Amino acid sequence: MHKLDRYDLKILQTLAEDGRITKSSLAEAINLSVTPAWERVRKLEMAGLITGYQAQIDWGAVFKRQQVLVEITLARHTAQDMRRFEQRMAAAPQVAFCYATGGGVDYLAMIQSPDIDHYQRFVDQLLLEDLGIERYFTYIVTKTIKTSGALPAELAPST
């Protein structure tokens, strides 16, 4: 495991907030010169702590869509059943995210579709594929309150 110091944590926090920040602005934000700051970024990338850079797109502004949260419980909990389900979810373009969870349900997924009818047809297809889904609960997203990849304030390094 890569040992992180306050500079590394500040780099991660800064990049999570603004992945397009310039090298010089990043160096200034973490109080280092450009070369050492950028060398740290490269080390964090090589260690697999920074896995990529992406734009956060408001797809709702681009395309009409419905977001649906789904709780999914599998009938069986064998490694093969879980792997088959997870591979299917990972391959589905409608799935914005899917998390395996502990507790009352096995998975929580965000499905994005043009409308509820398309969502239901997607779920019906999953059920026909015999992925071992025992039950699912659907929650329609009515409003987005917050989305962020930023480091929570309580984990932020003190400066």
Query: CB-based contacts of 156: which residues, under 8 Å, 6+ apart?
Result: 9, 10, 13
Helices of type H across the chain: 6-17, 23-30, 34-46, 59-62, 79-91, 116-128
Q: If we measure between CA atoms, which residue out of 30, 21, 112 comes closest to residue 69?
A: 112
Q: Across all residues in the chain, what is the average pLDDT?
A: 88
Q: What Cα–Cα distance (Å) separates residue 44 from each residue in 7, 39, 122, 126, 150?
A: 11, 9, 38, 38, 16
Number of H helices, E strands in the chain: 6, 4
Q: CA-CA distance, 111 to 101, in Å (whole number)?
A: 17
SS3 126: helix
What is the pTM (predicted TM-score) of this model?
Answer: 0.63
User: Judging by DSSP bridges, how do beta strands 107-113 and 133-140 pair with one another?
Assistant: unpaired
> Which tops the pLDDT comparison, 61 or 147?
147
Tell me, what's the pLDDT at 103? 85
Q: How do residues 77-127 score in pLDDT, each as one tens digit?
A: 999 999 999 999 999 999 999 999 998 899 999 999 989 999 999 999 999
Phi, psi at 96, each rounded to 5°: -75, -40
- Structure confidence at residue 157 as a pLDDT band (50, 70, 90): low
Task: Identify the residue with better confidence: 62 or 82.
Answer: 82
Average pLDDT over residues 127-150: 88
Q: Assign residue 125 a region (left: φ > 0; alpha: ψ between -120 and 50; beta: otherwise).
A: alpha
Helices 34-46 and 23-30 meet at what angle, rounded to 10?
100
pLDDT tier for residue 56 given thresholds of 50, 70 and 90: confident
